[in-house]
């Protein structure tokens, strides 16, 4: 499970991709459900300071999301740079759902003996 969530090498199929997405969704739900009230109680002052700390605390979730998506891109025969498409708002999420979540992977290349 550690390699699935934290490593950037290799390939994963659709089932591994969706398993990883559910893990990120669950962790994100737990994180965002508790972070607002927790930050409000122990960080006095500006809301921007709380937002910066909240982003810092969310970095592991961002890392896991990137690792899962990059490995799925590898399985689809693409480089990890396709992950940057998520930063294009109208295209990013539909691409992630269709290309990574629904389409089958490419056959693995066989090494010659």
Model pLDDT for residues 10-29, shown as the tens digit of each residue: 899 999 899 988 988 888 88
What distance in Å separates the CA atoms of residue 40 and residue 52, rounded to the nearest whole number? Answer: 13
Q: What pLDDT digit, counting tens, does each position of 30-67 carry?
A: 777 666 555 555 555 555 556 677 777 788 888 988 99
pLDDT at residue 112, as a whole number: 47
Mean pLDDT in residue range 58-82: 90
Mean pLDDT in residue range 62-89: 90
Residue 77 predicted with pLDDT over 50: yes
Furthest C-alpha separation in the chain: 65
pLDDT at residue 66, as a whole number: 92
Mean pLDDT in residue range 63-78: 91
pLDDT at residue 75, as a whole number: 92
pTM: 0.76
**What confidence tier does 113 reach under pLDDT thresholds 50, 70, 90?**
very low
Q: What residues contact 74, with CB distance under 8 A and at least 6 apart?
A: 10, 11, 80
Tokens standing for residue 20 = 């990883």
């Amino acid at each position: 499970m550690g390699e699935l969530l934290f490593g950037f090498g290799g390939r994963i199929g659709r089932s591994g991709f969706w398993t990883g997405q559910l893990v990120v969704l669950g962790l994100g739900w737990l994180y965002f459900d508790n972070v607002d009230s927790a930050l409000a109680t122990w960080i006095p002052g500006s809301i921007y300071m709380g937002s910066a700390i909240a982003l810092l605390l969310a970095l592991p979730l961002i890392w896991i999301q990137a690792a899962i998506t990059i490995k799925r891109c590898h399985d689809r025969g693409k480089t990890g740079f396709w992950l940057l498409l998520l930063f294009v708002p109208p295209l990013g999420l539909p691409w992630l759902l269709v290309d990574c979540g629904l389409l089958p992977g490419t056959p693995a290349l066989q090494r010659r003996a």
